[in-house]
Amino acid sequence: MNTLSVCIISKNEEKNLIKCLESIKDIADEIILVDTGSKDNTIPIAEKYNAKIVKFPWQNNFSSARNKSLEMASKDWILYIDSDECLDNSQIYEIKKSLSSLDFIGIKLKLINVINNKPYVAKSTLRIIKNNCNFYFSGNINEKLLNSKYKNYENRIKTTNYIIYNYGFDYTNKTLTERCNRNLDIYFSFSDKDKDYLYYYNVGNEYYLLKKYNLAATNYLKALNLNNNTLINSYLTLLIVKSYYYQKKYTKAILIGENFSIKYNLTREIYFLLSQCYRKLDEFNLSKEYFKTYLSYPSNEYSYYFTLINDKENNLIPEFFGFSILSLK
């Protein structure tokens, strides 16, 4: 009972698809490609690998496309993978072999994001699931894998060191502007009742990636005002200050950072940013004091992500490395 369906959703992915298909061709017993309107050579490429092509009109909803791919899968197990991802070829036989002896309903793989040819290890991600086991995707964007039978299924999932590489955040290969504008189109289709703090946080991230920092700060502030979790709001305060810092509005960044951090002070990185702002204003004594405060705060499990995003040149957000704001609850 170790046959495997590989499910992919795609649109205009001719530049990425071959690498993906080459990585899974020897492990897949069937390949399901749900295409949402490609106008390039995506479909002809997939047909060369004997993929079953399902043409599915784009509905501004990633979950509907993913669920269609799950519906079409006929094998014992399902691997879902994006066109700009690939498996580690050296491990595919071990993965296939492990499926026949599993008492679990899913397998987590180690996600490695490749950005500017540099690998960044992210959190493990559930990518292989048992077919006909009540899994489904939910959410128009940033979709979540849920299970209608098991509300909490983590203890039924096996975590492994099998690797999946994601090239989707390497914007030398994929246009950042197109990605962000596509995502914003989806968010703008949300009804008012669905616009919670997560909505404004995610919209803020898209504007941040587009370097529209004023719009990013505006949406992060809306998210903060709709939320009452101190740790989440501490992180949102960090993002607001950072957005003003990158606009070179150092005085405003300081004003917000100093006022908000009285209550929302659970991320040490806020003090690093305040130190940087004062340094830009040639207020070196205050800069040193805030830097000392930054150093005095202990790091936590999220510091890894927050340190990585200090690299403005790459315009990174922690989600690129497996972070989720929901983990701060």
Interval 38-86: pLDDT, tens: 999 999 999 999 999 999 999 999 999 999 999 999 999 999 999 999 9
Mean pLDDT of 158-184: 83
Backbone angles phi, psi at 137, to 5 degrees: -100, 145
Return the ∠ at Cα 219 (arms to 217 and 222), rounded to 5°. 110
Q: List the domains of the chain with CATH numbers.
A: 4-166 (3.90.550.10), 176-328 (1.25.40.10)
Could you tell me where the beta strands, DSSP code E, fall in 149-267? Answer: 157-166
Cα(234)–Cα(241) distance, rounded to whole angstroms?
11
Q: Which of 160, 205, 159, 156 is nearest to 180 (CA)?
A: 205
183-219: burial string, b at 16+ Cβ within 10 Å, e else = bbebbeebeeeeeebbbbbbbbbbbbbbebbeebbbb
Given this model, what pLDDT does residue 222 score? 98
Given this model, what pLDDT does residue 314 score? 53
CB 34 within 8 Å of CB 72: yes
Return the ∠ at Cα 215 (arms to 213 and 217), rounded to 5°. 65
Residue 312 has pLDDT above 60, yes or no: no
Cα(226)–Cα(219) distance, rounded to whole angstroms?
11
- 131-159 pLDDT, tens digit each: 999 999 999 999 999 999 888 888 899 99
Given this model, what pLDDT does residue 183 score? 93
Q: Are strands 157-166 and 118-130 parallel, antiparallel or unpaired?
A: unpaired
Strand, coil or helix: 141 = coil
What are the residues facing 158 on neighbouring strands? 107
